[in-house]
Structure formats: C-alpha cells, structure tokens
Structure 1
Amino acid sequence: MNKLADASTLVPEQGGGLAAPPSAEPFYLPAHDEVSLFEQCHHNKLAVMLKGPTGCGKTRFVEHMAWKLQRPLVTISCHDDLTASDLIGRYLIRHDRTVWQDGPLTAAVRAGAICYLDEIVEARQDTVVVLHSLTDYRRTLSIDKTGDVVQAAPGFQLVVSYNPGYQRMLKDLKPSTRQRFVTLDFDFPPPDQEANIVHQESGIAPAQARALVELAHKLRALQDRGLAEVPSTRLLVATAQLITHGISMRRACQVALLAPLSDDAALVGAMTDLVELTFP
C-alpha cells in the first residue's frame, strides 16, 4: 500500500550524489534577467528548463544559482540508457541482506536540493515521465518498487537543460513535458561579455580573449556550410587555457577549437584559413 514518505523515512544506506553548495561563488555573468527569474521560480516551486546551444553557460548558471540560493546540487547527465531506476533507486544485495539504494533524483527530493538533468532530450521518454509529478502542485516522487510516495523537501527544485539543435523527429520532448517548465532561453553572450568570460575563466590577456571571440564569430558563420556544432564559449575557454600555459595561438586553436568541431577535411581547411587570418 502506498504511503506518503518525507525526508525522515526510507533513509538509504548511502547518499545519492548530493553536492553541497560551493563555498566560493562560481563565476557567472548574467546576460539578461535570468538570475531574478530563476529566484522567483525557486520561491514559487516552479520547475525550470534552460534552453540553448551546447557550451553557452547553462551548467555554470545552475551552479551559480545553487550557490546563490545555498541549496545542495545534484547533476545528472542524461543519455539513451538512463532508466527510471537509475534516477529513483534500486534494491541492492549487501552481505546477508537487501537494502534500498536511493538514486540521485530521490536523494535530491529528500534533501531539498536542486536537481539538474543535463540534456533532458537525450533521456528516454519512459524515463522522463517519472518527473511529471515533481513538476506540478503534488511535488511528489513515486517509488513503485517500495510502494512509497516521497514528498519533496522544502527547497527542492527540478531544472533541466535542452539543446534545440538536437531536435529530431524521434528525439524531442513531448508537449506535455515541455509545458511543465518555465523556460529560460540561453545563447552565446555578446562579444564583449564573451571576451570577458574567456579572460576571467582562463587568465588570458584581454586582447587575446577578444581575438578568440572574434574568431569564434567567424567560425559560427560556417554553420550554413555544414558545421554541425558551432564553437562554444566552453571551447574558447579551453583554447585560452592552453595559450595561457605557453601553447602557441595557432596550435591551441587547432587542437582545442577546430579539431573538436569537424573531421571534414574541406571544412577544417576553411576554418584553418580563418585562424591564420586572425593570428597571422
């Protein structure tokens, strides 16, 4: 028989990946009003979807908000093989007994943590369905294997990220799922702000950071020529970190910026030309 369980019952034998709020503020530069909107969503117990391209700062934003709100953070990377049991938990055999092991989602619900599911569109639809009861007024999680229903502790918030570039006929979120989230749109920052981020994150000289961002904008224009993924701010930071530690500008761009983007010889050649024009 189902029963309503709170954080004091069904305590698992060990934790489910909870991370305490970082003691130091994760660096994040707001682009618009996303910080205040997220705070209001948290206050009003609303689930949030962060929508934007890979490497534009969605994960860092969640880390920053966990610090700002002083909530534990659970991050789950979604993939095709992620099952409901991976999220909720399972029974394990320990020596001479069977114990229940909370999954990361259940651990977050019990602890009142922010639970962040990265790239939710990669998860199977039958896995995503288990989130529905946590995104409305119920704020509960059903554990079918134990017959319990866990009430979310105060402070719990569900956050997912979604890359519209991954949309496919058979790989997209159902409207019934999308409409359960307040959606915040993310994109790559304006050039001056992106250069500041690259400078702050890597320690590279401001002029070099601006040059890398200028190159990135030229490379992003190649998306119409077959570039599946444009260079992200994350790639620019990685490139800048190599440069800061003595790797030449061209070589750093080749291994950290161009090579991860494409294996097509013609496309790589065109991108290499842009690097040589930017850093003669």
Structure 2
Amino acid sequence: MNTDSLPQEIQQLVKNNQYKHEHFQDLIRDGGYMPPNEELIIDAITALSMGKNILLKGPTGAGKTKFAETLSSLFQQPMFSVNCSVDLDAESLMGFKTLSYENDKQTIDFVPGPVTNSMKHGTFLYIDEINMAKPETLPLINGVLDYRRTITNPFTNEIITAQEQFGVIAAINEGYIGTVPLNEALKNRFIVIDVPYIQGDQLKQLISNSTKLEDETLINLFVTLSKDLITAVEQGKLSEDAASIRALLDACDLTTFIPPKRAILRAIVDKLDEDREKAFVQNLADTLFD
C-alpha cells in the first residue's frame, strides 16, 4: 500500500506536510474521529502507506474503532472486521463450509470470512480487541501479518496471497477483564499507536458533532466531567469504564430528553460494578449539574 491509495487532495496535503491544513482537518472530521494530536493521524497514515500493520492501544471508549473507520475513509478503503473473544476460532477468521443445493443436488460451498475477504479484495482488515482471543488462535494469521501476506486456508487448502491494497488495523485494551498479554511474535508484527482520551476543545467539538446536545453550557459541563473522570482514573480512583468517551456521548444524547444527572446515572454510573465508584461519579455529577 502507498499514498496512491489516498484521495488526490489528501495525497497533496500529506506530501506537503500540511497536516494542520484546515481542509485536512475537515476531511478527518468527516471520518468521525479527531485525534487528540496530529501525530497520531500522521503516524497511522505513514505506517499504513508503507504496508505496515498498526495496533491502536488505549483505554475503552477512547475512540479506537472510530479511528480505524476514519483511516478507512481517508484511504477510501472498505474494511472487514473481526471481533475477538475467547470463542474466536479459525472459522471466525477464514470462513466456513456449508451445505447448499444446486439443481436438487447437494453441494458443499465455502463462505469466506473477514480475513479471506479482506485479502482477496485488497481492503483493510480490522481486528478489534485482539488480546481477547485465545493465544493459540492468532498464530494462524502470522503469515498474513508479516512480509509474506500469505495464508493457507485450512478448510480449502487454497493458498491466499493478499492483494496490494490490503492492510491490517488492530485494537487492544490492556488490562481489561478477559484479556491476555500479546506474545512477542504477534506484537512485533505491528506498529503501536497509543490512543488517549479526547479532551478539551476536541471533546467539545466531538459532542457538538456526534450528539444531539446543543446547549453550550451543558456541553462545557460534560467536558469538565470528562476531565474529572479521566483524572480519577489516572489516580486509580476509578476504573477505565467510568471515563469512556462513548458512555459520555450517550449521556449527552440522553440529556436532550432527561435531566443530566439521570442521564449520567443511566449511561455511566449504572455500568460500574463497585458501589464506591458509583458514589464517586454521582458525587461529581451532583457537583457540576444542578
């Protein structure tokens, strides 16, 4: 993959290092994600343009999936997705065989999975929560992730070599319940990009663009709430779930119809497991919102 995959207008801005150009920022915004700093988008575009795999690492709700979707939009690339879990197996990655009928005769067809589809069509493959998969499952795609870009389909014995535009974006939530550390062989196949929470003016803009909330005073209060939650997470007072930007946006949406404190209760507080954390967040909400 190279920058020729990017739209002409993006190519020119990238070649001229005009990442702060207003038009470039507008194009990023159209994809749905504004990175906290320009280096994130620069480095991601650079790595993907060079045919590297990228691993988006950050807390839950920080916008990693939106980041991947924005990159897909910038490169004008469709994206097939794998959602990892302990149940992930070869069929979930490669596809499966199924019985069908043709002229009243039974046949066996192969239904391609996301890895097969993305390699054959030359599109992006997005592997979400890659460290939720069992360690013995992912080595199947090691050859897909290195210079070979090749895999033997275990169900058909077909040797698949990825088309030129194929690229891999993965996401990881470290320390999350049910996750396991990535082994070094897998981690070394990625360029790692840390994705922090969006804060300040960028979060204000995200709320304005992505939710139904229009009241500027309330938007500013939610930005302050987010900052306080992130600080509490960094100090070890709250789990990462409490500071999820996704949950905050849900609360903003609900606030257009119900009182803010009740919206925060439904979208953030009630998702927490510990009564201590629930009380902490509720206290922050009581302090900020009448």
Normalising by the residue count of structure 2, what TM-score does the alignment of the two structures yield?
0.82
Residues 1:111 and 2:133 are matched in the alignment = no
Residues 13-32 of structure 1 mapped to structure 2, 5 A cutoff: 25-32=30-37
Correspondence 1:258 to 2:269: yes
Q: Which amino acid aligns with 2:237?
A: R
Aligned to 1:182: 191
- For 1:60-71, list aligned pairs within 5 A: 60-71=66-77
C-alpha distance in 2 between matches for 1:149 and 1:48: 24
Counterpart CA distance in 1 for 2:131 and 2:171 is: 8
Contact 1:73/1:116, CA 8 A, preserved across alignment: yes
The residue number in structure 2 matching 1:151 is 161
1:47–1:182 Cα contact (<8 Å) kept: yes
Aligned residue number for residue 241 of structure 1: 253
Alignment partner of 1:88 is 2:94:
yes
Q: CA deviation at 1:277?
A: 0.7
Alpha-carbon offset, residue 167 of structure 1: 7.8
Among 164, 172, 176, the residue aligned to 1:162? 172
**Deviating more after overlay: 126-135 vs 150-159:** 126-135
2:36 maps to amino acid: A
Cα contact 1:89–1:102 (8 A) shared by 2:
yes
SS at match of 2:175: helix
Aligned twin of 1:202: 211
Corresponding residue pairs, total? 254
Is contact 2:199–2:226 with CA below 8 Å preserved after alignment?
A: no
Identify the residue that residue 60 of structure 2 maps to in structure 1.
54
**Relative to structure 1, is the Cα distance of residues 184 and 98 closer, same or farther in structure 2, using a 3 angstrom cutoff?**
same
Contact 1:196–1:206 (CA under 8 A) maintained in structure 2 = no
Deviations 1:227-253 (Å, cap 9, x if unpaired)?
Answer: 363321111111111112x21111111
Partner of 1:3: none
Looking at structure 2, the residues matched to 253 and 138 of structure 1 have their Cα atoms a distance apart, in angstroms, of 48
Give 5+ residue unaligned stretches, structure 2: 1-28
Q: Given the two structures, how large is their TM-score scaled by the length of structure 1?
A: 0.85
Give yes or no for contact 2:242–2:268 (8 Å, CA) kept in 1. no
Q: Percent identity?
A: 25
Q: Determine the C-alpha separation between the residues in 2 that align with 1:92 and 1:140.
A: 24
Q: Aligned with 1:164: secondary structure? A: coil
Cα deviation code 1:6-42 (max 9, x no counterpart): xxxxxxxxxxxxxxxxxx9322213222222222222
**Structure 1: gaps (5+ residues):** 1-23
> Is 1:130 aligned to 2:131, yes or no?
no
Partner of 1:9: none
The one-letter code of the counterpart of 2:63 is G
Q: Which SS does the other structure have where 2:168 is aligned?
A: strand
What is the CA deviation profile of residues 232-275 of structure 1, one whole-angstrom value per residue up to 9, with x for unaligned ones?
A: 1111111111112x211111111112111x13333322321211
Secondary structure at the aligned position of 2:137 is classed as helix
Letter in 1 for 2:286: E
Q: Check whether the contact 2:199–2:227 (CA below 8 A) recurs between aligned residues.
A: no
The answer (yes or no) to whether the contact 2:129–2:173 under 8 Å persists in 1 is yes
Deviation at 1:47, TM superposition (A): 0.8
Farther-moved stretch of structure 1 (47-56 vs 34-43):
34-43
1:40 corresponds to 2:34:
no
Partner letter of residue 138 of structure 2? V
Distance 1:138 1:221, change over 3 A: same
Matching residue's letter, 2:185? S
Q: Which has the larger share of helix? A: 2
CA distance in 2, matches of 1:249, 1:90: 47
Structure 1 counterpart SS, 2:35: coil
Distance 1:67 1:175 in 2: 30
Question: Corresponding residue for 1:75?
Answer: 81
User: Which deviations, in whole Å up to 9, do the C-alpha atoms of 1:80-122 show, x marking residues without a partner?
Assistant: 0010121011221113111111111111110111110110000
Amino acid at match of 2:120: R
- Note closer, same or farther for the CA distance 1:119–1:192 as it changes in structure 2 (3 Å cut): same
> Does the 8 Å CA contact 2:59/2:174 hold for their aligned counterparts?
yes
